[in-house]
Structure formats: C-alpha cells, structure tokens
Structure 1
C-alpha cells in the first residue's frame, strides 16, 4: 500500500531541510532558515523551519532578503505549498515571483526500463570509472545548455554548444563529487551515443531512504527522443536498487511534468520556488 500523501510530503520537507546541512551553515531568521554554503558551489535557499511554530510573514521574508543581500546570495526561497498553504500569497505580497512546480513521486510499479522510453543508451556514472571527472563535466555542460532553452521543444543548440561549454572540474570539486557518489549521496547519469556524445543528463541527491531526481536536461537538438524520461527512469531504478523507498522530483512546468509521467511518476503536490523576477528568469 502506498503511504498517505501527508506522510510523503513530511518526508520530502525533511529531505529539503537535511540536504544542505552537510555543505552549509543554517541561520535561523524567525520562522525561516537560511542555508549558507560553506565553500564553492551553487548557493542554497531559505525555507520554513521544520520546528517553526508560526507561519512566515512578509516581514520575515524581508529580513531574510536583507541577510541574503548582505552575504551576496540569491534572494531565493523554497517550500511545499501543502505544508505552508498561506506562504504563497505572503511571498507574492512581499514582491517575490513564485514558480509553482508540480511535485511528483515515483510509483515503483509504473517504472519502465530506460530502453522502453528511448533507444539511446543511458549510463549511470561510477565514481571508480577512469572518466568520472570528464563525464561529470559533460553532465554539467548538457544541463547548462538544456536549461538555457527551457521547455521540451527542439532547437538548434547541440553537441557543438555542449563541447564549447564543458569546463574541466577542479581537483577540489572532483574530490567532493567522488566522495558523495561513493557514499550514495549523489548519483549522475548521461544518455548518448558514440557518434553524438552525451545528449541528456540528470542527477539525484539522497538522504537516507529518500532521494530527489534533479537537473534532468536534454540538448535542444536531441529533444523529442524520450531522453529525459529515460535518464529519469535509469536514475530511479538505480536508487530503488540501492535501497531508496521514496523517489521524488519537481517539474519545471506542467508540460515537463508529462515527461515524468512516462517514467512512472505521479503528482502529489506543489513545490514553490520564489525569488525576484530576474532571479527566476
């Protein structure tokens, strides 16, 4: 029997609170917590405190934004709408733009094999592989090109743009990625052919028995070939095999959510991502 949606949402919320804590310090600002990354890497967000007793107000959001500006951080916030239903209107009244992203969980009985979704092979990266660092660099480049052209429509950007965007990882970043991959906290995948190289990529983050698939992207020139769904299915299958019992993701739009439906995911709620309009693009 599938768990109740409220139980799933509680586990997802605790995951989002836990993920930044091994790479960031947490600063409590009233009922919100701001995660400040220690060292290099993509900056984290602010979100409602797990132990908060009152809903955040517009003044609380303003206080966090002041602190984010003081630290030179993006003014971004994330939360689950079903867990904080009043925060959507508060965030908008505070001048933030809010993306309402479909929150989806894996129905393991509906998970297809990657080869049922695309004839392009998918490779889950091994941290012991000799090309692990090079493959991670390509994964990042594919994501940069893919997210630079949002949506599912085909476009001109392809392997040439991927290659021009690929940057070798520093020794420090590679060492951190290898550690996270070896202990199961990070999983990466690439889909591609020998002739074309990597065409789609994705990753997953894990805390205990919960994992989030994120960063699934396809080069615009390779879209409409089932690659995003195949990468998602490959990651989900590996996570289940490794003992994860809750796999979830947030889709960037209803259109993109349909891709994940093909990979065995179903919608259970809404993940809110807020920031100034320029930040959210």
Structure 2
C-alpha cells in the first residue's frame, strides 16, 4: 500500500503547472502561489538518493524562489530523512494516513436542509473556496483566484470537487480529491463552516467525494486527518489507518 500511495503522490505532482525533475525527486510548482503546501517535492520510490541529489533539490527550489519542502511516505525511502536533516531540513509533521478501498465505503446521510453538488462555474468554485478558507481559519498565502483556477484544472483532469450548500444556494463547506493516478486518489480539503458543524456534514462530504471517485473507477482513496475529531469522521465512513508520511522543509 505504501508504495502505491507514494507513486500516486509523485504522479499528482507531475500535473502541476511547472514540474522539475531533480535526480530521484519530482517537484511540482505553481507560479500563482508561494504556498509551501502546494509547492513541494517527493521522491520516486526505488530510486537511490545521495547527498548530492539533496543539494541539487535545494538549488532548484532556491532558483524557483520557493521554500525547499517534501512530502512522502517514509517506508518507501527510509534513508532520506537523515540526508535531509543533515542538509538543514526540519521535520514539520509526521502523519499516519488512512485508506478506503472501493468496497469499504459507508454511506453518510446529508443533513436536512443541505445538498451536495459539484461546483461547475467559477463563481460557485469561488464560493466553495471561501467556505473552506473560512472553515480552516484564514490560512497564510490564501489567493482565492489562484485556488479557483487550481480547482478548475483538477476537475478538468478527472479530480472531484464537492460542495455543500443550503437550499437557498449558500455554500457552507466542501472537499475535493486529486485526479487519480494508478487507480489511487487523495481526498483533501474537507471543511465545514462553524454554524453547520456537528450535524454530520463533514462525514457526508467525505463519503460523497469518495463515492464519486469510486464511481469513476478509482480503487483506493486516501487522506490524512488533522485531528482526533476528523479522524473519527473518516473512520465512520470507512477509512482505516495505513502507513506514515513525513512533511519536512528547509528555510531559504
């Protein structure tokens, strides 16, 4: 499972507007944002990595004006963390990811008075982005127009975006999934505005995004939980703990 997830991460990075391949690394960059959560690299599994490769990776990020940063499944390149720490990188986070196979999803009802829908126009995409940003709490480097463009590109490439709205059209939450690679897709950005929480909407969005992936032929959906509450939500709809991922970066 770890190997398959790591391959999907690398495949997703190759869909970014600017892709740089540095030895064993693939870096996906977006000229419209400096966010390190969008501009990062990941190693190709099974390819040997040297200190010189890490130095070249730092240089590539520096030349692009982006913070050197990686996300990857740790078991696929167990030697990499030591090389990165020696080169001045600092661990940001260690996460356990969860997976849901196509036969493991549990449906979750949509709360009364709300509907789930895929935003198909830029104004609707912008409203979903605004709801997510509000729910996540004014994250740094928020650029709504760039986020809308990324959302549109993702949908055009087979990714899923699902929003939640009231019957009178107010968007109150949403979530998405990356364009699939090798039958695998990452679910992310599950968010619900404060007044609409604790009604099961997060679970409904999570299940809805995942169901749409499976309906399009995806075999495995995966995600990471931001805390105990979201972990419980994801487990209720069929996600189970799997491997571990590392977030690690270096200041410019």
TM-score (norm 1): 0.73
Shift of 1:269: 0.9
Question: Which residue of 1 is the match for residue 107 of structure 2?
Answer: 113
Tell me, yes or no, if structure 1 residue 218 matches structure 2 residue 218. no
Shift of 1:244: 1.2
Tell me, yes or no, if structure 1 residue 40 matches structure 2 residue 32. yes
Cα 1:276–1:218 change in 2 (3 A) is farther
Answer whether contact 2:119 2:163 (CA < 8 A) is retained. no
Question: Which residue of 2 is the match for residue 241 of structure 1?
Answer: 215
Match of 2:72 among 79, 85, 101: 79
Which SS does the other structure have where 2:205 is aligned?
helix
String of CA shifts for 1:77-125, please: whole Å, max 9, x gaps: 111022223434544453313311221111444423231x644534231
Match of 1:125 among 118, 121, 130: 118
Cα 1:65–1:134 change in 2 (3 A) is same
Shift of 1:196: 8.1
Question: Which residue of 1 is the match for residue 206 of structure 2?
Answer: 232
What is the count of residue pairs matched by the alignment?
245
The CA distance in 2 between the partners of 1:196 and 1:177, in whole Å, is 20
TM-score (norm 2): 0.80
Question: Which residue of 2 is the match for residue 98 of structure 1?
Answer: 92
Cα 1:27–1:108 change in 2 (3 A) is closer
Shift of 1:236: 0.7
Structure 2 unaligned segments of length 5 or more: list them: none
Shift of 1:222: 2.8
Tell me, yes or no, if structure 1 residue 65 matches structure 2 residue 54. no
String of CA shifts for 1:109-154, please: whole Å, max 9, x gaps: 4423231x64453423164xxxx2211101111222222279xxxx
Cα 1:214–1:106 change in 2 (3 A) is same
Match of 1:263 among 232, 237, 243: 237
Answer whether contact 2:154 2:179 (CA < 8 A) is retained. no
Which SS does the other structure have where 2:48 is aligned?
coil
Answer whether contact 2:13 2:27 (CA < 8 A) is retained. no
The CA distance in 1 between the partners of 2:115 and 2:80, in whole Å, is 39
Instruction: Map residues 118-157 of structure 1 onto 2, 5 A cutoff.
Output: 118-119=111-112, 121-125=114-118, 127=120, 132-148=121-137
Answer whether contact 2:45 2:76 (CA < 8 A) is retained. no
Which SS does the other structure have where 1:206 is aligned?
coil
The CA distance in 1 between the partners of 2:21 and 2:43, in whole Å, is 9
The CA distance in 2 between the partners of 1:26 and 1:51, in whole Å, is 20
Shift of 1:35: 2.7
Cα 1:114–1:122 change in 2 (3 A) is farther
